[in-house]
């Protein structure tokens, strides 16, 4: 499949630029990262018999058994618009390799990249293994779920939409769910932080692909002793970002969701109405030219403002300040977010209590770095309303499979039957790719 898809690389990159306004560098990186992920998943699967507990015949208390992973069944997947290829293939390829049948709902925005994979999919897989569904999600996904024929749901998007789908299954207890959902990732800047490092990483984390990432930094809490200095550095870096079209080398590009600029203006109005300022308004922060929205830095944000708790998913950078760590603790514990946090400090002693607190709340704690998903071999997990399941090269194979054991009382005749089954039953045969395919 990878070999068949490779000739479409440039067409897919162009589709990502034209349809979802992803800049040329990020669009190319998405395709290349996806292909590397696929290769890593295949390599992991091929080694699974050696790495799986009881992956070879083992006798325990007189019972001999061997574990292989089998498919869950019909798997419905919903692709996001922001990383339509990478995030979907991080679910779909492991699910396919484990033997599942895929029903893939294409995003209303971002679907062109998937259309360009049709020829490779048709040549690589039997008919009916991968099925595309187009149209409005609310009109198409609910009726499919209500049939009760869906065994597994793979969803990347919002928690409310996930809940709405799950409850439409006539037997929700039997629906296996894998989801990567929203994040309101927080960057905590302590008094001793290197502010140049903090500013550089926060800008990357907040505004890469216009902040349209679940892993984006969506709230900054800076100690009041360094808040003003950090704010100055953030504004300088953000105002220097190039704005324009994706193929022009711009960092800030138009927003593909038609309703997003209006939403962003509404949260800015709410914050300003409650006492905050768009501190870079003089440089155009918060202004719009069609779908191009100039990043807005908002300060000081307080817990009464929507920007403190809502996931803005766009180029708005809200910053709050704190004087006591209890304020940070309260904000983190009150949040629905369970994905990530970033700590900026040069002190192990000051970082340690935060790590202890955050380790019960989020799935990843970043030290002096933006929030991110990679490398893909690392687990990408979450708590609360941010995830159900862990995404990684290894964990995705587990998420879309079920441990299945073949077992028997250990005696010579049963061993002979088992040896014969290994050559006859496809489920027990060695994992290998068909000749000439990848």
Band (pLDDT 50/70/90 cuts) for residue 79 is confident
pLDDT tens by residue, 263-290: 999 999 999 999 999 999 999 999 999 9
Residue 380 is given by DSSP the state B
- CA-based nearest residue to 138, from 118, 115, 157, 113: 157
- Residue 291's CB: how many other CB atoms inside 10 A? 14
Band (pLDDT 50/70/90 cuts) for residue 437 is very low
Q: Over pLDDT 90: what percentage of the chain?
A: 94
Band (pLDDT 50/70/90 cuts) for residue 305 is very high
Query: CA–CA separation, 103 vs 95, rounded Å?
Result: 11
pLDDT tens by residue, 135-157: 988 899 999 999 999 999 999 99
pLDDT tens by residue, 164-223: 999 999 999 999 999 999 999 999 999 999 999 999 999 999 999 999 999 999 999 999
Quick one: pLDDT at residue 296? 98
Quick one: pLDDT at residue 438? 43
Query: CA–CA separation, 35 vs 347, rounded Å?
Result: 39
Band (pLDDT 50/70/90 cuts) for residue 430 is confident
Residue 127 is given by DSSP the state T
What phi and psi, each to the nearest 5 degrees, are found at residue 307? Answer: -65, -20
Quick one: pLDDT at residue 433? 54
How many helices (H) and strands (E) the chain has is answered by 17, 18
Give me the chain's average pLDDT, please.
95
Quick check: 250 and 243 in contact, CB under 8 A?
yes
The answer, yes or no, to whether residue 434 has pLDDT greater than 70, is no
Cis peptide bond prior to 375, omega within 30° of 0: yes
Give the burial class of 114: count Cβ atoms within 10 A of its Cβ; 0-12 exposed, 13-18 middle, 19 or more buried.
buried
Band (pLDDT 50/70/90 cuts) for residue 431 is confident
Max CA pair span of the chain: 84
The answer, yes or no, to whether residue 432 has pLDDT greater than 80, is no
Beta strand 288-289 with 292-293: parallel, antiparallel or unpaired? antiparallel
| Residues 6+ away with beta carbon under 8 Å from 205 | 185, 187, 215, 216, 217, 342, 370, 371, 372
């Amino acid at each position: 499949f990878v070999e068949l898809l490779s000739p479409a690389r440039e067409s897919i990159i162009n589709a990502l630029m034209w349809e979802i306004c992803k800049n040329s560098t990020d669009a190319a990186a998405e395709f290349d990262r996806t292909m590397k992920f696929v290769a890593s998943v295949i390599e992991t699967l091929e080694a699974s018999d050696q790495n799986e507990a009881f992956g070879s015949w083992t006798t325990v208390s007189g019972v001999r058994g061997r574990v292989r992973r089998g498919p869950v069944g019909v798997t419905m997947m919903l692709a996001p618009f922001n990383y339509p290829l990478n995030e979907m293939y991080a679910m779909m390829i492991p699910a396919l390799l484990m033997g599942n049948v895929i029903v893939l709902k294409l995003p209303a925005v971002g679907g062109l990249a998937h259309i360009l994979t049709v020829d490779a999919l048709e040549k690589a897989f039997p008919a009916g293994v991968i099925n595309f569904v187009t149209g409005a999600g609310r009109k198409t996904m609910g009726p499919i779920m209500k049939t009760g024929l869906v065994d597994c749901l793979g969803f990347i998007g919002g928690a409310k939409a996930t809940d709405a789908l799950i409850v439409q299954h006539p037997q929700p207890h039997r629906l296996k769910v894998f989801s990567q959902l929203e994040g309101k990732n927080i960057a905590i800047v302590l008094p001793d932080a290197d502010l140049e490092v903090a500013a550089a990483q926060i800008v990357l984390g907040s505004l890469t692909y216009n902040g349209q990432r679940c892993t984006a930094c969506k709230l900054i809490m800076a100690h009041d002793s360094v808040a003003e200095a950090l704010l100055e550095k953030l504004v300088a870096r953000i105002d220097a970002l190039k704005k324009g079209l994706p193929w022009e080398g711009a960092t800030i590009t138009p927003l593909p969701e038609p309703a997003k600029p209006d939403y962003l203006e509404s949260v800015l109005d709410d914050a300003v109405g409650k006492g905050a300022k768009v501190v870079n308004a003089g440089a155009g922060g918060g202004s719009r030219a069609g779908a191009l929205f100039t990043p807005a830095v908002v300060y000081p944000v307080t817990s009464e403002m929507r920007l403190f708790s809502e996931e803005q998913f766009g180029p708005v950078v809200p910053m709050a300040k704190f004087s006591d760590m209890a304020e940070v603790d309260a904000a983190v514990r009150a949040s629905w977010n369970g994905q990530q946090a970033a700590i900026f400090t040069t002190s192990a002693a000051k970082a340690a209590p935060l790590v202890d607190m955050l380790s019960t709340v989020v799935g990843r704690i970043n030290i002096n770095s933006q929030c991110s998903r990679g490398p893909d071999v690392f687990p990408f997990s979450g708590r609360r309303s941010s995830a159900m399941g862990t995404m990684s090269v290894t964990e995705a194979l587990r998420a879309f499979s079920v441990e299945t054991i073949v077992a028997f009382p250990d005696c010579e005749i049963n061993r002979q039957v088992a040896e014969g089954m290994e050559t006859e039953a496809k489920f027990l045969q060695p994992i290998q790719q068909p000749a000439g395919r990848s």
